[in-house]
């Protein structure tokens, strides 16, 4: 799947991923009303509104981008109907040829970690049948529990030819509270980066490993260092746009040939219609606003990569 | 809810929690067959088998224990039908007067962390209505992202009078890989423990805080140190039984009066019928075997606490 991701990035000439992180307040009123009319002001109604919103954005952007990253939390807040739309969104994106990175940030130990890996990337056996619960192509994973939490994911990734992105240095202001603490003369995130490199060496794709890393766009200095520590690691970069990162900050997350990283924007794309720059589209054309924002984002990042050559 | 948990522990004289972490292979064949007969060898069939298994164990043990801890991963592996049975299990346990600790180990940042907090502990607004998705009483949370990941949970906990247990020192063999690394002269888990204490001071119950900690039974030395670093923190102790911890190892996780900790056993209870000691019950009486194992576990822990007085 990592090989396919690289191929798709090349094909679309777009190292970007759209974060499908819908809050109900992002969904235009017309869509909300239609869903509530059919299902009432219920969890099912909320889930249906989000589904209609996602579908329109995917339809309007899928030819431009290699991948999407739905954020599980945004669906989980609507309980079981929310999780059903999480799965439906994943299926739909895959039917459109998109690679799906499930932003689930799961992490546990042993058989429990394996259950997460199976639920999100693998197949579960029921009698003589096999099923794949949420069937994302990649999942994000939290490293706090160490190798016992990661190895079960590696096993499933190897079986299924899928991948993970391990949290290394997250984009939020307080990420340094633990991640930046100095251990043996270097910050913890470097130590985690070294482990990512080690885990990844066991499951290599053509050029990059099945084990990627999450490094926030808001920390370009750290991105540069981690790029060197993890030479075979694909870096998923959140924090572009709404969280403050911009194209020129991101050059050092990439390899010299412009590969090796993929940049996520969520609110900046799916809420583009609420932003000054795209307000001309209006609520009725929210998906066109998202398309315009994707085009601008690709131009910004490719421009920065071009300028750095 | 932390006050209610303490009250329930006192009432039952049992600082124990039963981990509802069912694998399909734990479910006796008769129950599996009945579920498959009704729903086929499908995800729905697997979920139904697990539901019947859970219900029998809850019915057989609910008068003895204050709380249960369903492990989300075990349900998530069966996709949306699995999550529906996760919710159904929570509802049923609460109807039996049990406190439910959702072992979800979630953790993200800002509005995303808030969405997890809302989905698991809070209420989500849909039009003029409010719903609670999974409505656990407590949830486990991963601290790797720092305060930005925790504060949204604190906000929801305060609103709902619910609580969290933050991973501090986990029970698995490789937990030391990052958690034991020395930062400013002390291990990272102590640093996390200090933060738990600090976060907890903002949301105090009568004696213990809404913010608890997870510390593995397999690390009694560290438990003793953390007990002192976090004087107002309830400690959730996994790793008893199947992972190797026993009653006498656990004394130092408790305060002098025998409060302040709650010990989890999962496989040791729900798979008791497969163990030599309880094999006399047979597969048909698996729930009675679980009851016997709970009684033995309570006796082991209370005995150790008594002996240490």
B185 touches chain A (CB under 8 A): no
User: To probe the interface with A, which of B74, B112, B243 has the most A CB atoms within 10 Å?
Assistant: B112
DSSP letter string, chain B: -HHHHHHHHHHHT--EEEEE---GGGS-HHHHHHHHHHH-SSHHHHHHHHHHHHHHHHHHHTTT-SEEEEBHHHHHTTHHHHHHHHHHHHHHHHHTT-EEEEEEEE---HHHHHHHHHHHHS-EEETTEEE-SS--SEEEE--TT-HHHHHHHHHHHHHHT-EEEEEEE-SSGGGHHHHT-EETTEEHHHHHHHHHHHHHHTSB-SSSBSEEEEE-TT-HHHHHHHHHH-TT--EEE--BGGGSB-GGGSGGGS-TTS-SEEEEESHHHHTGGGSGGGGGGTGGGHHHHHHHHHHHHHHHHHHHHHHH-
Q: Quote the ipTM score.
A: 0.96
Nearest Cβ partner for A142 among B112, B113, B144: B144
pLDDT of residue B243: 67
> Contact A183/B182, CB-based, under 8 Å?
yes
Say which of B105, B155, B246, B274 is annotated catalytic: B105
Please tell me the distance in Å from A85's CA to the nearest CA on chain B. Answer: 9
Per-residue pLDDT band for A288 (boundaries 50, 70, 90) equals very high
Is residue A245 predicted with pLDDT exceeding 90?
Answer: no
Both tokens assigned to A297: 């984002």
B45 and A127 within 8 Å at the Cβ level: the answer is yes
Mean pLDDT throughout A92-116?
97
How far is it, in rounded angstroms, from Cα A250 to Cα A263? 8
Residues of A in contact with B113 (CB under 8 A): 73
pLDDT per residue as tens digits for the range A195-204: 999 999 999 9
Classify residue A250 by its DSSP letter.
S
Q: Is A259 on the interface with B (CB under 8 A)?
A: no
The pLDDT value recorded for residue B241 is: 80
Closest C-alpha among A141, A79, A237 to residue B142: A141
pLDDT of res. B247: 83
The pLDDT-based confidence of A4 (bands split at 50, 70, 90) is: very high
Q: How far is A116 from chain B (nearest CA, A)?
A: 5
pTM attached to this predicted model: 0.97
Mind telling me how many Å the CA of A109 is from chain B's nearest CA? 7
Alpha-carbon distance B206 to A268, whole Å?
44
Q: Which of B26, B48, B73 to mutate to test the interface with A (most CBs of A within 10 A)?
A: B73
Cα-flanking dihedrals φ and ψ of residue A97, to 5°? 85, 5
Percent of chain A with pLDDT over 90: 94
B218 CB within 8 Å of a chain A CB: no
Nearest Cβ partner for B147 among A21, A120, A174: A174
B36 with A174: Cβ contact below 8 A:
no
**Would you call A26 an interface residue with chain B, using a CB distance cutoff of 8 Å?**
no
Q: What is the mean pLDDT of residues A108-126?
A: 97
| Interatomic CA distance for residues B227 and B162, integer angstroms | 22
Per residue in A203-220, is it b (16+ CB within 10 Å) or e — as a string? bebeebbbbbbbbbbbbb
Instruction: For chain B, list residues with pLDDT below 50.
Output: none
Q: What mean pLDDT is reported for chain A?
A: 96
Q: Does A67 have pLDDT greater than 70?
A: yes
Does A244 lie at the interface with B, CB-CB under 8 angstroms? no
DSSP assignment of A139-174 equals EEE--TT-HHHHHHHHHHHHHHT-EEEEEEE-SSGG
Least confident of A86-90, A146-150, A227-231, B305-309: B305-309
Q: Could you say which of B84, B192, B195 has the minimum Cβ distance to residue A80?
A: B84
Nearest Cα neighbor of B108 from A184, A141, A19 is A141
What angle in degrees, to the nearest 10, is found between the helix axes of A110-121 and A147-160?
30
pLDDT at A244 over 80: no
Query: Most A CBs within 10 Å: which of B77, B123, B191, as the mutation test of the A interface?
Result: B77
Which domains, ranges and CATH numbers included, belong to chain A? 2-302 (3.20.20.70)
**Alpha-carbon distances, residue B8 vs A41, B66, B97, B176, B259 (angstroms):** 36, 5, 9, 33, 11
| A46 lies within 8 A of chain B by CB | yes
pLDDT band, very low/low/confident/very high, at A249 (cuts 50, 70, 90): confident
B69-81 pLDDT per residue, tens: 999 999 999 999 9
Residue A256 has pLDDT above 80, yes or no: yes
CB contact under 8 Å between B119 and A143, yes or no, is: no
Catalytic, B246? Answer no
**How far apart (Å, rounded) are the C-alpha atoms in residues B56 and B175?**
34
Query: What average pLDDT score do residues A135-160 get?
Result: 97
B180 touching A (Cβ < 8 Å) = no
B257 touches chain A (CB under 8 A): no
Question: Does residue A243 have a pLDDT over 70?
Answer: no
Measured distance CA(A61)–CA(A93) in Å, rounded: 11
Task: Give the three-class secondary structure for A83.
Answer: helix
Three-state DSSP at A79 gives: helix
- Asked whether the beta carbons of residue B82 and residue A119 sit closer than 8 angstroms, the reply is yes
Which among A74, A144, A184 has CB closest to B142? A144
């Amino acid at each position: 799947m990592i090989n396919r991701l690289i191929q798709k990035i090349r094909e679309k000439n777009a190292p970007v991923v759209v974060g499908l992180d819908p809050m109900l307040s992002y969904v235009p009123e017309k869509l909300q009303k239609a869903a509530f009319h059919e299902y009432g002001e219920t969890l099912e109604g909320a889930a249906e509104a989000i589904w209609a919103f996602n579908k329109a954005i995917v339809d309007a952007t899928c030819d431009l981008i290699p991948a999407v990253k739905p954020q599980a939390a945004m669906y989980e807040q609507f309980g079981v109907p929310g999780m059903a739309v999480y799965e439906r969104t994943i299926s739909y994106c895959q039917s459109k040829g998109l690679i799906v990175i499930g932003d689930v940030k799961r992490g546990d130990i042993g058989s429990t970690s394996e259950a997460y890996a199976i639920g999100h990337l693998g197949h579960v056996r029921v009698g003589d049948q096999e099923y794949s619960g949420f069937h994302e192509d990649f999942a994000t994973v939290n490293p706090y529990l160490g190798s016992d939490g990661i190895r079960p994911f590696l096993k499933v990734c190897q079986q299924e030819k899928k991948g993970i992105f391990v949290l290394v240095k997250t984009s939020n202001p307080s990420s340094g509270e633990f991640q930046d603490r100095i251990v043996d003369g270097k910050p913890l995130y470097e130590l985690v980066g070294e482990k990512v490199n080690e885990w990844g060496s066991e499951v290599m794709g053509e050029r990059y490993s099945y084990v990627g890393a999450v490094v926030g766009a808001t920390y370009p200095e750290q991105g540069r260092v981690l790029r060197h520590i993890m030479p075979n690691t694909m870096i998923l970069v959140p924090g572009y746009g709404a969280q403050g990162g911009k194209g020129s900050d991101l050059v050092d997350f990439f390899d010299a040939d412009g590969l090796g990283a993929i940049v996520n924007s969520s609110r900046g794309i799916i809420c583009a219609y609420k932003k000054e720059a795209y307000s001309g589209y209006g609520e009725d054309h929210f998906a066109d606003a998202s398309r315009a924002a994707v085009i601008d984002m690709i131009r910004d990042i490719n421009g920065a990569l071009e300028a750095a050559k």
